[in-house]
Chain A
Amino acid sequence: DAMVIQNPRYQVTQFGKPVTLSCSQTLNHNVMYWYQQKSSQAPKLLFHYYDKDFNNEADTPDNFQSRRPNTSFCFLDIRSPGLGDAAMYLCATSPLEGGWETQYFGPGTRLLVL
């Protein structure tokens, strides 16, 4: 089945130690998104890629970076994780057509910062 895959499902890192979360998709969608979701809150968009075009949200900290080497893969890099970066990180995709397709979400990666 076509899907959005995130690895790992749980990630533990140390304060200040760089960490990379990965997302892959078999849907061949043009757009990929990264969201941060803290406990009991709504997902917050960090950035998205429209094909290779990177779009950063204005309030996304510089500590968060992203790479999309090809259509299928997208990475979230946290350069120096702080305790406040502990959250669920959701990857999503959507096609870019004239309609109103939903975003398809992966299962998320829970990040714990020690």
Chain B
Amino acid sequence: AQKITQTQPGMFVQEKEAVTLDCTYDTSDQSYGLFWYKQPSSGEMIFLIYQGSYDEQNATEGRYSLNFQKARKSANLVISASQLGDSAMYFCAMREGRGSARQLTFGSGTQLTVLP
């Protein structure tokens, strides 16, 4: 079974509008972390935002917010006021277990295109 599922291979959004990128996850651990990364065409993986499984508040970082619904096992990324520079591939990822060198498990990604 897929641990991280991103069902939107591609998304389009008009500049200055908000967009939601979907992510669902599967784990039996009680303690885990969820991450979103942005990967522009240059290839570098840029960390955007993090949500811990025990965090009650949804994480926010500037124009990025994470809509965390634990019961539904979803961790959607919301980008407000989209900019042309937001066009990139976006990956949702999960890290299970605490205090270990455990790997990140990535979803298949969503290619976001911001239209002028």
A23 in the interface (beta carbon within 8 A): no
B1 in the interface (beta carbon within 8 A): no
A104 to B101, CA, bound (A): 13
- Could you tell me if A105 and B45 are in contact, using CB atoms closer than 8 angstroms? yes
A76 in the interface (beta carbon within 8 A): no
- Could you tell me if B45 and A42 are in contact, using CB atoms closer than 8 angstroms? no
- Could you tell me if B109 and A31 are in contact, using CB atoms closer than 8 angstroms? no
Least Cβ–Cβ distance between A42 and chain B, in angstroms: 4
A98 in the interface (beta carbon within 8 A): yes
Determine which of B35, B43, B98 lies in contact with A110 in the assembled complex, contact meaning CB atoms within 8 Å. Answer: B43
- Could you tell me if B106 and A43 are in contact, using CB atoms closer than 8 angstroms? yes
- The winner among B33, B35, B37, B45 for most chain A CB atoms within 10 A is B45
A92 in the interface (beta carbon within 8 A): yes
- Could you tell me if B47 and A31 are in contact, using CB atoms closer than 8 angstroms? no
On whether A98 and B99 interact (CB within 8 A), knowing A42-B108, A88-B43, the answer reads yes
- Could you tell me if B108 and A41 are in contact, using CB atoms closer than 8 angstroms? yes
- The winner among A48, A94, A98, A100 for most chain B CB atoms within 10 A is A100
As a 0/1 sequence over residues 81 to 97 of chain A, the CB contacts with chain B under 8 angstroms (1 = contact) are: 00000001010101011
Give B residues with C-beta under 8 Å from A.
33, 35, 37, 42-47, 50, 52, 91, 95, 98-101, 103-104, 106-109
